[in-house]
Amino acid sequence: MNGTTAQSATAPAVPTKADLIEEFAAIGNAYYQDFAAVAARHGLTSVQAKALAVLVRQPLPMRGIAEQLVCDASNVTGLVDRLETRGLVRREVGASDRRIKIVAATEAGEAAIRAVRADMQTTHQALDLLSDGERSVLFELLTRLRPVLEQKS
Amino acid sequence: MNGTTAQSATAPAVPTKADLIEEFAAIGNAYYQDFAAVAARHGLTSVQAKALAVLVRQPLPMRGIAEQLVCDASNVTGLVDRLETRGLVRREVGASDRRIKIVAATEAGEAAIRAVRADMQTTHQALDLLSDGERSVLFELLTRLRPVLEQKS
DNA sequence: TATTGTTATACTCTATAACTATA
DNA sequence: TATAGTTATAGAGTATAACAATA
């Protein structure tokens, strides 16, 4: 792995942060590929599916969607247009500020993202490799990482 | 979490697979956002950076790149054209089969992807939260998941 | 005949800049 | 004047279909 320490074969050295980053990158890319491929089979681009997944968690104004997608706000108009045409999301005028439009996933939108997640067989198969105890450990570690990882860079 | 078992507060129930999938999705998306944002700062689109990361690991024929990127082979022509124009990759004619063009990252390409990885501060900060022992555990779990997760769906 | 890479076309994603409606 | 959303435009990513070169 890093070769800086000579330990026994049964107790490998602690991985360097670079090792972990590389593994994290590979896992992140592989997950995203499964997500994009399954979304495509369901007639959604990866961006449409990602937007839908975000909106299922909570309704957001146009600019909030842009933040979540890390893209310019101008793109969100067309993106939401296409999702709205297919009945997957709904625009609602903001109550306090009429400039704001709140976008929410419809029932059809929620069903679509549920179907995509259920169909991510590669990811399911990978997680099936773990025992209950390992799943608990992984879940706990990821839950710790998530708040920091979701901050803006 | 799932509420199906009533255990003590210090020993939470084993997360369901759905819980873990959701956490995995959130982590995967957050990682990808950091990657895309940093790549953009370095003048690369996320697809260009991903292709470069793949080619740093190993040279690939055009169709191999398409497989890794989960996209049609016809797209790869333009993608590699743009990377080649900037001196980040190089096309080489295959030795055994002259139809095949092997694409390899140049030194500049390797340097570019190294710079992107080093600049992913959000991901670095997240991983800094873990102790050496936790890093080892996470690394081992991810290493187990990776071969299955990298298979085609 | 089958396969590799390319080209042509059309649609989607993306950023920048300018515009409108509202605050 | 500042902000939320939109429109216009141009470059990049994407799939489908058709093509040339090679196997």
Going from N- to C-terminal start, the domains of chain B cover 15-147
d(CA A115, CA A110): 9
**CB < 8 Å from B in window 81-140 of A:** 117, 120-130, 132-139
**Above 80 in pLDDT, residue B2?**
no
User: In Å, how far are B21, B59, B112 from B94, measured between CA atoms?
Assistant: 41, 11, 25
Give the residue with greater pLDDT, B101 vs B151: B101
Give the rounded distance of the alpha carbon of B23 from its chain centre: 18
Mean pLDDT, rounded, for B73-98: 97
pLDDT grade for B150, boundaries at 50, 70 and 90: confident
For residue B97, give the nearest of B139, B63, B70, B148 by alpha carbon.
B63
B15-147: CATH class: mainly alpha
Q: Is B98 helix (H, G, I), strand (E, B) or coil?
A: coil
Per-residue pLDDT, averaged over B44-61, amounts to: 96
Q: Can you give the pLDDT at residue B9? A: 52
Distance B109 CA to D17 C1' (A): 33
pLDDT score, position A145:
96
Q: At CA A77, angle to CA A72 and CA A79, rounded to 5? A: 90
For residue B131, which residues of chain A lie inside 8 Å, CB to CB? none
Q: What is the mean pLDDT of residues B4-33?
A: 75
What pLDDT, on a 0 to 100 scale, did the predictor assign at position A143? 96
Q: Would you place residue A12 in the very low, low, confident or very high pLDDT band (cuts 50, 70, 90)?
A: low
Determine the Cα–Cα distance for residues B101 and B61; give it in Å rounded to an integer: 5
**Nucleotide nearest B103, from its CA to each C1':** C5
| pLDDT for B24 | 86
What average pLDDT does this structure show over B3-14? 54
Instruction: Return the sign of the alpha-carbon dihedral for residues B105, B49, B57, B151.
Output: negative
DSSP for chain A, written as a single string? ---SS---TTSPPPPPHHHHHHHHHHHHHHHHHHHHHHHHHTT--HHHHHHHHHHHH--EEHHHHHHHHTS-HHHHHHHHHHHHHTTSEEEEE-SS-TT-EEEEE-HHHHHHHHHHHHT-HHHHHHHHTS-HHHHHHHHHHHHHHHHHHTS--
Which residue's CA shows the smallest distance to C1' of C20? A99
Residue whose CA is minimally distant from C22 C1': A99
What is the pTM (predicted TM-score) of this model?
Answer: 0.86
Distance from CA of B137 to the nearest CA of A (A): 8
**B65-94 b/e with 16+ CB inside 10 Å = b?**
bbebbbbeeeebeebbebbeeeebbbeeee
Cβ contact B27–A152 (<8 Å): no
Strand D closer than 7 Å to the CB of A41?
no
* Closest CA of chain A from B99, distance in Å: 27
CB of A78 lies under 7 Å from some atom of strand C: yes
Q: Which residue has 């290493």 as its token pair?
A: B143
Phi then psi for B82, rounded to 5 degrees? -70, -40
Residues of A in contact with B23 (CB under 8 A): 139, 142-143, 146
pLDDT at B7 over 60: no
**Is residue B114 pLDDT above 70, yes or no?**
yes
Taking a C-beta distance cutoff of 8 angstroms, is the pair B19, A143 a contact? Answer: no
What pLDDT, on the 0 to 100 scale, is given for residue A2?
A: 45
How far in angstroms lies nucleotide D22's C1' from the CA of residue A27? 37
Q: What percent of chain B has pLDDT over 90?
A: 73
Helix (H) or strand (E) holding B61: strand B60-61
Show residues of chain A in contact with B17, CB under 8 Å.
124, 127-128, 135
